[in-house]
């Protein structure tokens, strides 16, 4: 069974525009189960209902949306375990960082019924496994962020009528007005770091936020997580450095440092509740534990099919 999961609101309507074609394929193929709900909670419920029905349980997951929808599908794939053959992405989001890092491009939807015949190749990638204080576990494919980054995400998500990348620009300016460096306690494979920082991010893939190369050397198949720390700088300097992230030109800044490891713990001292974000989604309040889960997500490649 092929579970095709659609975020109708992603990509300025791109995913929604593909629905008629998907519905037609769904009607004429008993191999396809289409999930196109109106909310995240409904999508999660439909995915759980699908996987609980052995006759409809998805062997292949196809996500038509952005990084948020992909992250949602990853949680379900990991919940189901090794019985899933893999994930295929039809990028329809604003940033599409996961799709770009994994060479996932738009393809002819008409080939979907043929996927059940095994007309694809698999490439396993690493995932970051995150545990919160309640021992709840979630996974991410690209970047987990804390500090200035996550506060910008938190603020941007409150906007109800502002969409697209402009909301992050506005949120950045709003957060910057009151932002102060945070005191971090970090442990990387048993090595402890106590430091004040503007942000601390953990990368599995090298980009986030629509192409920002936060850790240009990060690879999602090397068995390591890459951590970046931006030490305290002035607000003016933060505004000057931040745009350089899009080209990866921040790496030689004297206040930027990089670390690598397989197990990372992050906490903030003397702060109010502070949430970590991963793949653009709110995860857990700090403290958190992060571990690399090597080769744990099979990504499907369609090299034998024509792209759009």
Q: Where residue 109 sits, what CATH number does that domain have? A: 3.40.50.10330
47 lies in the same domain as 113 = yes
pLDDT at 243 over 90: no
182 lies in the same domain as 212 = yes
Q: What per-residue confidence (pLDDT) applies to 308?
A: 45
Domain end (from 119, 153, 183)? 119
Q: What per-residue confidence (pLDDT) applies to 234?
A: 94
114 lies in the same domain as 166 = no
Residue 125 lies in a domain: no
Indicate the average pLDDT of the chain. 89
Least confident residue range of 13-17, 33-37, 47-51: 47-51
Residue 154 lies in a domain: yes
Least confident residue range of 147-151, 155-159, 235-239, 296-300: 155-159
- Alpha carbons 272 and 278: distance in angstroms, whole number: 19
Residue 141 lies in a domain: yes
With residues binned 3-state (H G I as helix, E B as strand, rest as coil), the percentages for the chain, rounded to 5, are 30, 35, 35
Q: What per-residue confidence (pLDDT) applies to 58?
A: 60
171 lies in the same domain as 218 = yes
93 lies in the same domain as 144 = no
Provide the pLDDT confidence category of residue 54 given band limits of 50, 70 and 90: low
**Which residues span the domain enclosing 27?**
2-119
Average pLDDT over residues 216-244: 93
**DSSP secondary structure letter of residue 118:** T
Please classify residue 192 by burial: count the beta carbons closer than 10 Å to its beta carbon, then call 0-12 exposed, 13-18 middle and 19+ buried. Answer: exposed
- Alpha carbons 112 and 110: distance in angstroms, whole number: 6
Least confident residue range of 19-33, 222-236, 280-294: 19-33
Least confident residue range of 65-74, 162-171, 243-252: 162-171
pLDDT at 57 over 50: yes
195 lies in the same domain as 252 = yes
- Alpha carbons 40 and 225: distance in angstroms, whole number: 28
Most confident of 15-19, 27-31, 107-111, 182-186: 182-186
148 lies in the same domain as 267 = yes
182 lies in the same domain as 142 = yes
Most confident of 93-107, 148-162, 219-233, 234-248: 219-233
What are the DSSP calls for 31-97, one per residue?
Answer: TEEEE--SSHHHHHHHHHHHHH-TTT--SEEEEEE-HHHHHHHHHHHHHH-TT--EEEEEE-SSS-H
Provide the pLDDT confidence category of residue 5 given band limits of 50, 70 and 90: very high
240 lies in the same domain as 185 = yes
Residue 124 lies in a domain: no
Residue 130 lies in a domain: no
Other beta carbons within 10 Å of 281: 18
141 lies in the same domain as 229 = yes
Residue 126 lies in a domain: no
Instruction: Identify the CATH number of the domain in which residue 210 sits.
Output: 2.60.200.40
Q: What percent of the chain has pLDDT over 90?
A: 62
Q: Which of 228, 227, 231 is nearest to 181 (CA)?
A: 231
* CA distance between the termini of the chain: 24
Most confident of 119-128, 151-160, 173-182: 119-128
Buried b (16+ CB within 10 A) or exposed e, 62-83: bbbbbbbbbbbbbbbbbebeee
195 lies in the same domain as 284 = yes
Strand-pairing partners, residue 86, are: 60
Q: Whole-model pTM above 0.75? A: yes
The total number of structural domains that make up the chain: 2
Residue 291 near residue 129 (C-beta atoms within 8 A): yes
């Amino acid at each position: 069974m092929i579970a095709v999961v659609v975020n109708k609101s992603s990509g300025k309507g791109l995913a929604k525009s593909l629905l008629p074609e998907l519905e037609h394929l769904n009607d004429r193929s008993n191999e396809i189960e289409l999930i196109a709900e109106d909310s995240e909670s409904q999508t999660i419920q439909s995915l759980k209902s699908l996987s609980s029905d052995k006759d409809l349980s998805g062997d292949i997951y196809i996500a038509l949306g952005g990084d948020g929808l992909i992250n949602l599908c990853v949680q379900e794939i990991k919940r189901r375990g090794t019985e899933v053959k893999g994930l295929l992405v039809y990028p329809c989001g604003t940033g599409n960082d996961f799709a770009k890092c994994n060479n996932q491009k738009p393809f002819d939807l008409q080939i979907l019924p043929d996927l059940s015949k095994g007309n694809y190749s698999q490439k396993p990638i690493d995932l970051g496994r995150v545990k919160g204080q309640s021992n709840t576990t979630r996974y991410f494919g690209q970047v987990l962020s804390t500090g200035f980054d996550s506060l910008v995400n938190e603020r941007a998500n409150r906007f109800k009528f502002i969409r697209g990348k402009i909301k992050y620009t506005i949120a950045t300016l709003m957060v910057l007005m009151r932002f102060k460096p945070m005191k971090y306690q970090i442990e990387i494979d048993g090595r402890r770091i106590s430091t004040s920082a503007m942000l601390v991010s953990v990368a599995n893939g090298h980009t986030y936020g629509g192409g920002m190369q936060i850790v240009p050397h990060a690879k999602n198949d090397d068995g390591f997580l890459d951590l970046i720390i931006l030490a305290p700088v002035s607000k003016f300097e933060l505004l000057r450095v931040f745009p350089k992230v899009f080209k990866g030109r921040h790496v030689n800044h004297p206040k930027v440092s990089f670390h690598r490891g397989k197990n990372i713990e992050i906490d903030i001292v003397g702060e109010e509740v502070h949430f970590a974000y991963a793949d653009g989604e709110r995860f857990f309040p700090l403290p958190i534990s992060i571990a690399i889960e090597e080769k744990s997500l099979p990504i499907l490649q369609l090299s034998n099919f024509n792209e759009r």
